[in-house]
Amino acid sequence: MSAFKSLTDCYVLSNGVNIPCIGFGTWQVENGDGAVAAVKSALQSGYRHIDTAEGYGNEESVGRAVKESGVPREKIFITSKLTNNMHGYENTLEAFEKTMADLDTGYLDLFLIHWPNPIKFRGNWREANAGSWKAFEELYKAGRIRAIGVSNFHPHHIDELMKNADVAPMVNQIRLCPGCTQDAVVDYCKSNGILVEAYSPLGIGKVFEVPEMREFAKKYGKSVAQICVRWSIERGYLPLPKSVTPARIKENADVFDFELSPQDIQTIAGLTGCCGLASDPDTITW
């Protein structure tokens, strides 16, 4: 059971920063007017947490949407991520300045290392991550980023990072959806005070073809997407649903008027591979 009642209710990160309990994801939302419209629609629907990345190529549109939305900047939590080919201390500082120029939002609420072991740094990922994290900590301590974290990191990646770190990651954003629960990673994060965010909580669209999920939608009188988002919250994740359709953007966040039974939560978790499984961060080819 979750205590959250609205989109503006928050998890509290380890450093005391509030982060709204559902975020709007922008992966695969192409830069341009369509991305601007989608983010503005999300903000108009009540979202106050927007997730982007250098690798998505749409930071400029996200920044523009924030400006045009009429919602005060300080009311919006904005996340971006370090692109894979810019790991290391100097590269990270350069990449961060590009992100800030593209977003043009004054500061960043959360910055993540997108992948721990990209192909470009496969031979020296530990050193590359240590350099990036040094830059992250400096930017954080300077007040340019309100919180710092990682994405797609497994416990051994975080353990290596902490050998040289002064500040522990506050967030780990990983792929979590029905049938893909990454329990070992989630348990590690929870035991170390790291909030787990769920990207692709709708299984990159595959979840809509899963018969069991359709049955749960009928049972609760909700959409499959709403079941997925509610399931994420009930599991203690922070979901980042994505859509470019205004009605679905709004619907995906309308999940505070029902609860899933403990048995149904477990059944959904056990639909192993129904939406595919997370990529191994040590063997990715990007």
Asked, for residue 120, whether it belongs to a domain, the answer is yes
Asked, for residue 122, whether it belongs to a domain, the answer is yes
Residue with tokens 């029905």: 178
The CA distances from residue 155 to 30, 149, 161, in Å, are 32, 13, 10
- Ramachandran assignment for 61, one of left (phi > 0), alpha (psi -120 to 50 degrees), beta (any other): alpha
CATH number at residue 236: 3.20.20.100
Q: How far is CA 180 from the centre of its chain?
A: 15
**What's the rounded Cα separation, in Å, for the pair 155 and 216?**
33
Please report the pLDDT score of residue 255 as a whole number: 98
- Are the CB atoms for 157 and 172 separated by under 8 Å? no
234: containing domain: 12-269
Q: With CA atoms as reference, report the closest residue to 276 among 176, 188, 197.
A: 176
* Selected catalytic residue, list 56, 140, 188, 199: 56
- Which DSSP symbol is given to 180? B
Asked, for residue 204, whether it belongs to a domain, the answer is yes
Residue with tokens 């922070």: 238
**What's the rounded Cα separation, in Å, for the pair 200 and 222?**
19
- Are the CB atoms for 201 and 240 separated by under 8 Å? yes
- Ramachandran assignment for 19, one of left (phi > 0), alpha (psi -120 to 50 degrees), beta (any other): beta
Asked, for residue 282, whether it belongs to a domain, the answer is no
How many domains, in total, are found in the chain? Answer: 1
* Host H or E run for residue 18: strand 18-20
Per-residue confidence of the chain (286 residues) as pLDDT tens digits?
688 999 999 999 999 999 999 999 999 999 999 999 999 999 999 999 999 999 999 999 999 999 999 999 999 999 999 999 999 999 999 999 999 999 999 999 999 999 999 999 999 999 999 999 999 999 999 999 999 999 999 999 999 999 999 999 999 999 999 999 999 999 999 999 999 999 999 998 899 999 999 999 999 999 999 999 999 999 999 999 999 999 999 999 999 999 999 999 999 999 999 999 999 999 999 9
**For the chain, how far is it from start to end, CA to CA, in angstroms?**
38
Please report the pLDDT score of residue 82 as a whole number: 98
- Are the CB atoms for 134 and 164 separated by under 8 Å? yes
Q: How far is CA 251 from the centre of its chain?
A: 19
Asked, for residue 276, whether it belongs to a domain, the answer is no
Asked, for residue 247, whether it belongs to a domain, the answer is yes
Asked, for residue 277, whether it belongs to a domain, the answer is no
Q: With CA atoms as reference, report the closest residue to 79 among 19, 139, 167.
A: 19
* Host H or E run for residue 160: helix 155-162
Please report the pLDDT score of residue 205 as a whole number: 87
- Are the CB atoms for 130 and 121 separated by under 8 Å? no
Asked, for residue 137, whether it belongs to a domain, the answer is yes
| Residue 56 annotated as catalytic | yes
